Structure formats: structure tokens, C-alpha cells
Amino acid sequence: MTIPAFGLGTFRLKGQTVIDSVRNGLDVGYRVIDTAQIYDNEAEVGQAIADSGVARDDLFITTKIWVANLSKDKLIPSLRESLRKLRTDRVDLTLIHWPSPNDAVSVAEFMSALAQAKLQGLTGAIGVSNFNIDLMQRAIDVVGADEIATNQVELHPYLQNRKLAAFAKDRGIHLTSYMTLAYGKVLGDPVVIDIARKHDATPAQVALAWAMQLGHAVIPSSTKRENLASNLLATSLRLSDDDMQRIAALDRGERLTDPDSLAPAWD
């Protein structure tokens, strides 16, 4: 399974807002859509896709299993419900959204159930999200590294997650960067702005191109059609080695997503 480098995120978008975002995204050329059970927008995403007229086989759809549905008796039924909402018979990628708090459901149990979902044809690939190195190793021990298509994690110029990235790369596991723009904070960074000016690009395009050039996938979201179209141009932006080194120097371990009830012990 090759994870597409660029997709459309839908975190925090609901109702007509997410319908419009997905519709506009598909219209300007996006073909990868990322959602999750906890986003409470799968039905709206499904509606937007159905109304778009884009063929299902031309799309790559990702959803994520919420922690309340990780047990072996709930995971597959919850995924079937996600498929119903998304109006499709399968998704292309299904992730464990967060590890089970306090190991209430073991990694072995939910990864085995996720693998079973793949065997049943409900998802083309499986993976994880917000997993640290220890949890990734435990998942590998259950299904094998070849079965884990990606680990979706917070990763941006201020949190570059190099230790985790090195572990994943060594085992052939792809990383997907979420919050690549750090809630917009990097858009005002003088270094990023300077690099953008040099390339006649936007700061958002620079940050997205940086992550993709490191080999990560990105899934930025936007409610504005012009920003969706602009972000997509990051796929054709090539940064110099000097640009990459300057952005590398921005790392300060600044984590923006760290929910007490869900987060593992980060590396």
C-alpha cells in the first residue's frame, strides 16, 4: 500500500462546512479524504463525495476507529457503520485513532480486529495514529510491519518527531503528518516566510512541501476554496537543501495535541 502524499483533512469541520470543504476540494483536484468516527462528519463527507460525481475508484478515503470502539466485538461493527455513513462498501485506509487509554483494550486485541476487517474487505489497508515507538513495536509484533501502512502523528516544523520518524523509516512504516501548519503558527514564522518569498510561494505551501520532501504525507484542511487550491500547489514545490536545513532548525519540541486522557508517553 502506497499512501498518497497529499490529502484533504476534515478535523473540526462539521455540517454544511465540511460538505462545502470536501465538495470544493474534490472540485479543485483533491482525491484523498481523511475523516474519523469522532469527527462526527462521516455522513456529511459521504454526502459530499456522492454529490461530487467523482468515481469511487478515483478516491482514497481514510477513517479512524475511536477508542470506544477498539474492542474485538465493536471494531468491525463500528467500521461497518462508518461505511454506511460514507456511502461506500470499503475505505482505502482504516487507522486506530488513539491507543486505548490505560491499555483497557490490548494492542493485540484491536490490531487483530483491524487485520480481520482488512481480510473481510472492509478496508484496503490498516494503520495507526498517535502511536509512540513502544506502541508501534507492539502493533508490529501483532500484525507485522508490512501490514501497518502509516502512523498518523502531529508533525510540523516546531515538532519534527525525528526519533519516531527514524524508527518508522527503519521498519518501512510511512508517517502521515497532521497539523503540518501547527494551527497556522508556522504561517507567521520569519524563516518560513523568507523561504516562501524566495520561491514565490505561500508559507503554507512551504511547510507542506517540507513535510512531503521528508517523505511524509500531509492532510491539510481549509474551509476556503482558494486556500484548498493554493495548498494543492505544494505538491509541485521543491525546496533546496538549505531551505530544508533552515526549517529543520525550527524544531523546538512544541506539541499542540496532548490530551491527558488519550496521549501515550511521547518519545
SS3 190: helix
What's the pLDDT at 108?
A: 98
What are the pLDDT digits (tens) for 72-89?
A: 999 999 999 999 999 999
What are the pLDDT digits (tens) for 190-210?
A: 999 999 999 999 999 999 999
Return the domain boundaries, the chain.
8-248
Q: What is the mean pLDDT of the chain?
A: 98
User: What type of residue is 2?
Assistant: T
Strand partners, 94: 63, 126
* Helix segments in the chain, DSSP class H: 15-28, 42-52, 75-86, 107-119, 133-143, 162-170, 190-199, 203-213, 225-232, 241-248
What's the pLDDT at 6?
A: 98
pLDDT reading at 1 higher than 90: no
DSSP letter for 182, please.
G
Please give the CATH superfamily to which domain 8-248 belongs.
NADP-dependent oxidoreductase domain (3.20.20.100)
- All three cell numbers of 4, joined, read 498518497
- All three cell numbers of 14, joined, read 462539521
Is 183 part of the annotated catalytic residue set? no
First to last CA, the chain: 26
Q: What is the mean pLDDT of residues 59-68?
A: 98
Quote the CA–CA distance of 9 and 152 in Å, as a whole number: 12
Residues found in the chain: 267
Confidence at 260, pLDDT banded by 50, 70, 90: very high
Q: What is the mean pLDDT of residues 219-233?
A: 98
Of 30, 39, 158, 178, which is the active-site residue? 39
Of 117, 111, 156, 154, the residue nearest 135 (C-alpha): 111
Percentage of the chain beyond pLDDT 90 is: 99
What's the pLDDT at 85?
A: 98
